[in-house]
Amino acid sequence: MKGNFMVRLLMALLVLAVFGAYSYVHAAYTPYSGELEAAWSASAAPLEIAATPAPEAAPEAAPVAPAEPTPEPTPDPTPEPTVDPESPAGRAAALGLPAPPDIDVTSWEYTLVNGDHSIGMYEPEQLAYLNQTGDATDIQYSYNPNRCEIDARIAQPLLDMALGCRAAGLPIYLSSSYRSYSAQAANFRRVCENNGVSDGKLNGYYITMPAGCSEHQLALCCDITDKYYEIKSADKVASPTLDWLREHCTEYGFILRFPEEKRDITGVMYETWHFRYVGLEAAKYITENQLCLEEFLALYGVE
């Protein structure tokens, strides 16, 4: 029995020696053994996860002032249109007057008749006849010596003015309008003889016009008074009727034809009773700008 034990002991020692030799040889000839051990050690170590730093709070933005509005570019001023100095507006501007109305200066109502502008043997195409005191409102077209004879184109405006005057409580008398060439020639001779003149002028101003140079022959005017006067003069024919007519005549297209302050231009003595039809636009402009007909027509190149 003792012998068996020894045998087993020897066998165990032999196995142990063989195993030790094998381990030595294996260790000596296995590459990178140290690195593997280190790698193993590293892999076995717990992983350290780097903490992500919390984002820093953004600094509070400073208040931004509202942007100033971009100013609108100032447009270049539109140049004033150049006015032709030879146009009615240009001539008016040169005298400090507003632009005159846009009219056809060759139209019948603007016909100029005076000592320098004769209409020769002119006769109106159509005459009309009005009641002289405005008592009757009809307009007749057949000759009637007891009525005021007028160019038919101004019969209604003249009648309306007479009725307006009567409506204001004032008397009116249409004393003289149309005179033919021959009638004016006879009137010229009579007045010249009565005043001891030969050219129709007294103190340098016409008191009667030669035939062909009178507005009465044109039939676009009328001598208007408050009653019948055999001989008219500025001091004798002053009345509330004439005051009303001077204030309201433009409303009917008429003007006071021969103002006292315009005698050097018209060449005619002051006639407070002589009213001439020129239409509403011209009458308004002439009166508002204190012109006479000659001055008004000069704006349109009429000389």
Q: Which amino acid is at 128?
A: A
Structural domain contains residue 1: no
Question: Does residue 288 register a pLDDT over 80?
Answer: yes
Question: Does residue 36 register a pLDDT over 50?
Answer: no
CB 34 within 8 A of CB 28: no
Taking the CB of residue 88, how many other CB atoms lie within 10 A of it?
A: 22
Distance between CA atoms of 283 and 163, rounded to whole angstroms? 19
**pLDDT at res. 24:** 56
| Alpha carbon distances (Å) from 43 to 24, 34, 37, 96 | 26, 14, 10, 111
Distance between CA atoms of 16 and 151, rounded to whole angstroms? 165
CB 121 within 8 A of CB 212: yes
Structural domain contains residue 40: no
pLDDT tens-place string over residues 155-169? 999 999 999 999 999
Structural domain contains residue 77: no
Q: Which amino acid is at 69?
A: P
Structural domain contains residue 250: yes
Structural domain contains residue 223: yes
For position 236, which CATH number holds?
3.30.1380.10
271 in catalytic set: yes
Q: What are phi and psi of 142, to 5 degrees?
A: -105, 145
**CB-based contacts of 117, cutoff 8 Å, min separation 6:** 213
**pLDDT at res. 12:** 62
Structural domain contains residue 79: no
Torsion on CA atoms 183, 189, 190, 191, rounded to nearest 10:
110
pLDDT tens-place string over residues 241-253? 999 999 999 999 9
Distance between CA atoms of 250 and 160, rounded to whole angstroms? 12
Q: Is the pTM of this model over 0.85?
A: no
CA distance from start to end of the chain = 177
b (16+ CB within 10 A) / e for 238-276 = ebebbebbbeebbebbbbbbbbeebbebbbbbbbbbbbb
- Of the pLDDT bands very low, low, confident and very high (cuts 50, 70, 90), residue 19 is low
Structural domain contains residue 49: no
- Of the pLDDT bands very low, low, confident and very high (cuts 50, 70, 90), residue 65 is low
Which residue range is the domain that position 284 belongs to?
Answer: 94-125+153-298
CB 288 within 8 A of CB 92: no
Phi-psi region of 137 (alpha: psi -120 to 50; beta: other; left: phi over 0): alpha
**How many domains does the chain fold into?**
1
What integer best gives the mean pLDDT of the chain? 86
Distance between CA atoms of 289 and 99, rounded to whole angstroms? 11
- Looking at residues 195-217, what average pLDDT do you find? 97
Outline where the chain has alpha helix (H): 2-29, 33-44, 88-94, 155-167, 181-195, 215-218, 240-248, 263-266, 280-288, 293-298
Structural domain contains residue 33: no
Catalytic position from the list 109, 149, 215, 271: 271
pLDDT tens-place string over residues 120-153? 999 999 999 999 999 999 999 999 999 999 999 9
**CB-based contacts of 205, cutoff 8 Å, min separation 6:** 263, 267, 268, 269
